[in-house]
Amino acid sequence: MDLKNKLLLENKKNFNICVIGAGHVGLVVSAGLAKLGHKVVCVDNNRKKIVLLKRLSLTFFEPGLESLVREGVKRGRLYFSYNLAEGIKNSEVIFIAVGTPPKEDGSVDLTSIENVCRVIARNLNSYKVIIEKSTVPVHTGEKVKETISRYKKKKNVSFDVVSNPEFLREGSAVYDFFNPSRIVLGVESQRAERILRAIYKNLKTTLLVTDINTAELIKHACNSFLATKLSFINAISRICDLAGANVERVAEGMGLDPRIGRDFLKAGVGFGGFCLPKDIDAFIHLSEKLGYNFSLLKEVKKINQEQKSYFVEKIKECLWVLKDKRIAVFGLSFKPGTDDMRFSPSIDIIESLVKEKALLFLYDPQSIGEAKRVFSGLATKKIKFFKEPYSAVKGCDCLCLLTEWEEFNRLNFKKIKSLMRYSLIADGRNFLDKEKLEKLGFKYIGIGR
Ligand code: NAD
């Protein structure tokens, strides 16, 4: 019976898929797979989230996602549920897209992955392909297999595990789903490979098939390399400041070399988000466990941390004592196009400024709601939140820019200058037009610029 199921499954074009985790990755993957023609149930153990999703209300901002979700639901291809058991039983393919947060020591907390494996085991009623979408340390696939085998109730039912790391970027996640730079498949059986190829057949890109350990390692290697590039240019920015050179032009000169490339050579206050910081920590930890001291990555992390304090020091150099200085902070999410503030550099910078007893006036086009939650523990009298930028800068001594939202370049800086008490702009992303601002009478500080 199981063999018959397997053969039927291999010849299918569209699949019944269960995506576990309705977060930044899970929801995009669910809606994307539904658009590709599959029937998808997206399950999550956060009931509130599922109740909202059933009402077509998204819990985070991602361009283009809401309409994609609506379309999937309208076409009857996308459902939401908090019943994991039912979701698993009724599906042939299961994507695991739950969170893998960092522990205190930098290693990955795999509790959610393990929990999900046990639920899958209990409800494994027919052959299924189980896909790791979450970013996990190498050898997790082996643990997934071991755990499901150990706890499965029906001992004669088989399954395959696949590692299919996700490379989408928040802010352009929907675009990235349909236009992936590559699809990496870590497989242990040809059957699983054929099924995965069929699932993604309408996406035109390179498919790289490896073993599971290699696929898991590819994801960590990619994020670590990207983080290294960013810390490298940030280190160069410090030298530029010391030498009186311009890091923007240095990056341009480097990026024109095709062996180097332009991407991820943007100096600033450092990287954040739910991927790079935790994934380099995890890779450092994992390498150490395997017997390799990845000191390069430790330095990458250190440079990233220092970049934030360096920026605060630059503001202090200009404003001297920060106590009671009024500082407007524009841009709180870790990058533009998202309201995600997880590990955003803005958090450390704002905490440092609050420690110095500055008064802060925060504005972000999308993440003010999230910021109120993040900073609820801080001395709230020192922080005010604004829905529009011009009220935020009123009477301020400094405007500090931490995220390069496109709309910041369209602001009326003449008006801003007239509203500020002292017109210092601290551009933590080297994003604004320095010359134009200086012509308007602003004092401008960037990073290595
Ligand atoms: P997220 O926090 O936005 O979403 C995770 C979801 O999983 C949450 O909705 C949570 O309620 C749910 N969940 C947790 N435990 C569960 C359980 N036992 N059963 C059912 N649902 C459960 O996280 P995310 O940003 O989507 O990241 C998910 C994974 O993908 C992580 O491993 C992350 O490193 C990786 N990743 C993230 C990105 C990104 O840009 N956010 C990109 C690539 C890879």
Of ligand 1's listed atoms, the one at least distance from the Cα of 279 is 34
Q: Whose CA is nearest to atom 12 of ligand 1?
A: 21
What is the mean pLDDT of the segment spanning 409-415? 97
The span from the CA of 223 to the CA of 241, in Å, is 27
Pocket test for ligand 1, best of 19, 24, 100, 140 (most atoms within 8 A of CB): 24
Determine the residue of 47, 98, 224, 271 to mutate for testing ligand 1's pocket, defined as the one with the most ligand atoms within 8 A of the Cβ atom: 98
Given a cut of 80, whether residue 11 has pLDDT beyond it is no
Residue 361: its pLDDT value, please?
Answer: 98
* Contacts (Cβ under 8 Å, ≥6 apart) of 76: none
pLDDT at 270 over 80: yes
Residues 6+ apart with CB under 8 A from 189: 160
Q: Are 446 and 269 in contact (CB under 8 A)?
A: no
Q: Dihedral, CA atoms, 31, 32, 36, 40, nearest 10 degrees?
A: -40
* Alpha helices, DSSP H, located in 328-383: 345-355, 368-374
pLDDT beyond 80 at 86: yes
Same fold, 3-210 and 276-445: yes
Whether the predicted pLDDT of 1 surpasses 60: no
323 Cα to the center of ligand 1, angstroms:
39
Q: Alpha helices of 357-407 — where are they, by DSSP H?
A: 368-374, 389-393
Pocket test for ligand 1, best of 41, 44, 52, 132 (most atoms within 8 A of CB): 44
Ligand 1: distance of its center to the CA of 381 in Å? Answer: 33
Q: Is the model's pLDDT at 35 over the cut of 60?
A: yes
pLDDT computed for residue 377 by the predictor: 80
Active site residues: 275
Terminal-residue alpha carbon distance, the chain: 68
The model's pLDDT over 234-246, given as tens digits with 9 standing for 90+, comes to 999 999 999 999 9
Q: Give how far Cα 287 sits from Cα of 164, 239, 279, 433, Å.
A: 21, 30, 12, 42
242 Cβ neighbours under 8 A, 6+ residues apart: none
Given a cut of 90, whether residue 165 has pLDDT beyond it is yes
Residues in the chain: 449
Q: What is the mean pLDDT of the chain?
A: 96
Question: Residue 308 and residue 171: Cα distance in Å, rounded?
Answer: 23
Best residue among 53, 274, 370 to mutate for probing ligand 1's pocket (most ligand atoms within 8 Å of CB) is 274
**What's the pLDDT score for residue 12?**
83
Using the CB atoms, write b or e for 341-353: b if 16+ within 10 Å: bbbbbbbbbbebb
Alpha carbon nearest to ligand 1 atom 30, residue: 134
Crossing angle of helices 295-319 and 345-355, rounded to 10°: 40
CB–CB of 297/228 below 8 Å? yes
Where are the extended beta strands (E) located within 122-181?
A: 128-132, 159-163
Compute, in angstroms, the gap from residue 99 CA to the centroid of ligand 1.
3
pLDDT of 10 strictly over 90? no
pLDDT at position 261 over 60: yes
Cα(124)–Cα(350) distance, integer angstroms: 48
Q: Could you give phi then psi for residue 25, rounded to 5 degrees?
A: -90, -50
Residue with tokens 């190829």: 197
Question: Domain ranges in the chain?
Answer: 3-210, 276-445
Q: Is 288 helix (H, G, I), strand (E, B) or coil?
A: helix
Give, using CA atoms, the residue closest to atom 14 of ligand 1. Answer: 98
Q: What is the pLDDT of residues 87-131, one digit of tens each?
A: 999 999 999 999 999 999 999 999 999 999 999 999 999 999 999
Separation of CA 298 and ligand 1 centre (Å): 25
Question: Looking at domain 276-445, what is its CATH homologous superfamily?
Answer: NAD(P)-binding Rossmann-like Domain (3.40.50.720)
Among protein residues, the one with the nearest Cα to ligand 1's atom 15 is 112
Helix (H, G, I), strand (E, B) or coil at 80: strand
- Nearest to residue 289, comparing CAs of 165, 101, 163, 139? 139
Domain 3-210 class, CATH top level: alpha beta
Tell me the mean pLDDT in the region 154-173. Answer: 97
Question: Residue 226 is which amino acid?
Answer: L
**363-382: b or e for each residue (b if 16 or more CB lie within 10 Å)?**
bbbbbeebbeebbeeeeeeb
**From atom 19 of ligand 1, which residue's Cα is the shortest distance away?**
45
pLDDT for residue 3: 63
Note the pLDDT of residue 6: 64
* Beta bridge partner(s), residue 185: 209
- Name the nearest CA neighbour of 163 among 147, 180, 179, 139: 139
Mean pLDDT of 146-162: 96
Look at ligand 1, atom 27, and give the residue with the nearest C-alpha.
99
For residue 258, how far is its CA from the centre of ligand 1 (angstroms)? Answer: 34
The residue nearest atom 24 of ligand 1, judged by CA position, is 24
Find the helix packing angle between 212-243 and 140-151, rounded to 10°. Answer: 140
* Dist CA 154 CA 156 (whole Å): 6
Atom of ligand 1 nearest to the CA of 133: 30
Distance (Å) from CA 77 to ligand 1 centroid: 22
CA distance 305 to 308: 6
Tell me the mean pLDDT in the region 390-406: 98
**How far, in Å, from the CA of 387 to the mean position of ligand 1?**
29
Dihedral sign for Cα atoms in the order 420, 426, 427, 433: positive
Residues within 6 Å of ligand 1 by CB: 20-26, 44-46, 49, 84, 97-100, 112, 115-116, 134-135, 166, 168, 170, 274-275
Rounded CA separation 124/120 (Å):
6
Confidence bin at 5 (pLDDT 50/70/90): low
